[in-house]
Chains A and B, each alone.
Chain A
Amino acid sequence: MASHRIGEIGLSETGPSTHHVPYSVYHGINNPTTFINQEGSAFDFGELEEAIVLQGVNIRNDEAKAPLYAGRPAATLDMFPSWPIKFQHTPRGSSKSRGESTDSGSGVNTNTLSSSIAEARREADSPVSVKGSSSLDHQKLQKPMEMAASDTSPLPSPSQSASKAPQDKRKGGSTSEKQLDAKTLRRLAQNREAARKSRLRKKAYVQQLESSRIKLTQLEQDLQRARSQGFLLGACGGANISSGATIFDMEYARWLEDDHRHMLELRTGLQAHLPDGDLRVIVDGYLSHYDEIFRLKGMAAKSDVFHLITGVWATPAERCFLWMGGFRPSELIKILITQLDPLTEQQFMGICSLQHSSQQAEEALSQGLEQLQQSLVDTIAGGPSIEGMQQMAIALGKLTNLEGFVRQADNLRQHTLHHLRRILTVRQAARCFLVIGEYYGRLRALSSLWMSRPRESMMNDDNSRQTTTDLQIVQATQNHFSNF
């Protein structure tokens, strides 16, 4: 029986021409098969459907051949083409030619088929090239067809190779592939298109997953940072959502925006050489802007003094140099003294004495805070002489003094700024406030640059590379400094 003869395109005895399975193809195609087996990702449903369409009922005929294809599942499941079937079965018309070439030209056809299928296999992802090669295949088919009659020797060899490569059950009939039904063609094209689209979708999805993963790690980092800063302290109870700390943070953010606006006003006012009257308005506006933040801090100190004093609301660089929940007035004056030339003798004396007195006041407050800490330590680190709860109660009482210190510190800052305004002329005061605002703006920018610098993973690289990266970061954020 023909079905037992592997080397035969044993379809001639079957009725419908659609049964013509290109068995010759199977054995001729060792490489592509293994190629197919190894490759799973390029699997296309479109191409699969092609195979199904083409193989169709023929697979049932192959069940007898199943033992030859060791390790393979049922025939129908063998349709894992990584390459499409170039050779379309046509339900009609081709049987004759097939019959002609079946026996005699099968060998040659096999070779051409195998080569073309190998070709298709290589171009598995591009339907266009598949089409191209399928047309090529047709041409190839024509020629062997003519030579078919004269060449029958190759037949045994394919059969041998078929036994060696039992899993060569590939679609693509060796015969009658030339005639492609228009409808089938279109459907196969659509399938290819659908397969391509699904591949693209998959790629897009994977990319989305990757970016989401990166975003997730960033969010986790932010969360970690925020948590360490205590932003989530009030998250437990609903009542804590609008805690003093949160409110202050919101107000402070708004204040920063206002600050930016005031700075712009000051800068343009100075550059435009506005008359003193107009400049005075701007300067006084800036002063009341600072009064506002001191007022806000006063309110926040009542509800959450630790939030203020530990500087959670400030950027890391600001926090580093924080003194009692804010700036140190004497430091500020030190910065200003160099920037405010020219000063009259009287002004210079005034500013020097201001610096001196603020230093003394800061020292006094610091010592008072030190004593507070000392007494707190004595209370809670005290031995068994005081009972536990009582200790805590006393300690709590002492902690309430913290609010007083923060208030006094803010008080000091406010009076320093006001006195500065009194000593200086309008223009000088405008320049002075501009310097202060710019200093803090740059300090904040420094903080954000610091936070966005490359992390420790880059530390292992050579220093030069890290320097380059830092420079790139600085250049990238040039706009931060353009305003200054």
Chain B
Amino acid sequence: MHYQTESWSTYLPAARPVGDPVERIERMAAESAVVIFSVSTCCMCHAVKSLFCGMGVNPTVHELDHDPRGKELEKALARLSGAPPSAAVPVVFIGGKLVGAMDRVMASHINGTLVPLLKEAGALWL
């Protein structure tokens, strides 16, 4: 039912059809404590994954290149995070809330706000 073609992406977000990418993203983000939208060949995504795994977090990773509607999801993500479409991924959601791309994640980690966020979302214990 969701195997629409690219033409769906021409719909305005305000219309909020069922297959709206943003809504899909939000739905996917709420599924787990830590959700990473990634592309399997992207090295920065690999870096983000390494970061969370190194912290002991087990993130849910959605490889958009393996999703039939991945392209529109990427565009939607780019719009959400404010990044250019070419660098749409990686995007991290913690506890259903958007954290951002790699730079935001790193900044929050250095600031010491990432770990409390993870604990709050239940991704980290201790």
Contacts and interface: CB of A to CB of B under 8 A. Distances in A.
B43 interface: yes
A237 B47 CA distance: 38
Nearest to B107: A415
Interface in B35-55: 41-44, 46-48, 50-51, 54-55
A360 B111 contact: no
Interface in A343-371: 350, 353-354, 357-358, 360-361, 363-365, 367-369, 371
Contacts of A360: 51, 54-55, 109
A82 B114 CA distance: 93
Interface string A363-401: 111011101100100000000000000000000001001
Contacts, number: 73
Interface residues of B, number: 22
Contact of A353 (B47, B51, B107, B112): B112
B46 A361 contact: no
B103 interface: yes
A350 B87 CA distance: 33
B54 A363 contact: yes
B110 interface: yes
* B interface, over-half SS: helix
A133 interface: no
Given A408-B106, A415-B107, A364 B50 contact: yes
A368 B109 contact: no
B112 A401 contact: no
Contacts of A411: 103, 106-107
A361 B109 contact: yes
A111 B97 CA distance: 118
Given A411-B103, A411-B106, A375 B51 contact: no
A419 B48 CA distance: 21
A415 B50 contact: no
Contacts of B111: 415, 419
Nearest to A360: B54
Interface in B47-103: 47-48, 50-51, 54-55, 87, 102-103
B126 to A, nearest CB: 14
A357 B112 contact: yes
Given A363-B50, A364-B50, A364-B54, A408 B110 contact: no
Contact of B110 (A364, A375, A405, A416): A416
Nearest to A398: B43
A372 B45 CA distance: 11
Given A358-B110, A415-B106, A419-B110, A364 B51 contact: yes
A354 B51 contact: no
Given A360-B51, A361-B51, A411-B103, A354 B44 contact: no
A350 B47 CA distance: 25
Contacts of A408: 44, 47, 102-103, 106
A375 B43 CA distance: 9
25 contacts: A350-B112, A357-B110, A357-B115, A360-B55, A360-B109, A361-B106, A363-B54, A364-B47, A364-B51, A365-B47, A368-B43, A368-B46, A368-B50, A371-B46, A371-B47, A401-B44, A405-B44, A405-B47, A408-B47, A408-B103, A411-B103, A412-B110, A415-B107, A419-B110, A419-B112
Given A363-B50, A364-B47, A372-B43, 10 more contacts: A353-B112, A361-B110, A364-B51, A364-B54, A368-B50, A375-B43, A408-B103, A412-B110, A415-B110, A416-B110
Interface of B: 41-44, 46-48, 50-51, 54-55, 87, 102-103, 106-107, 109-112, 114-115
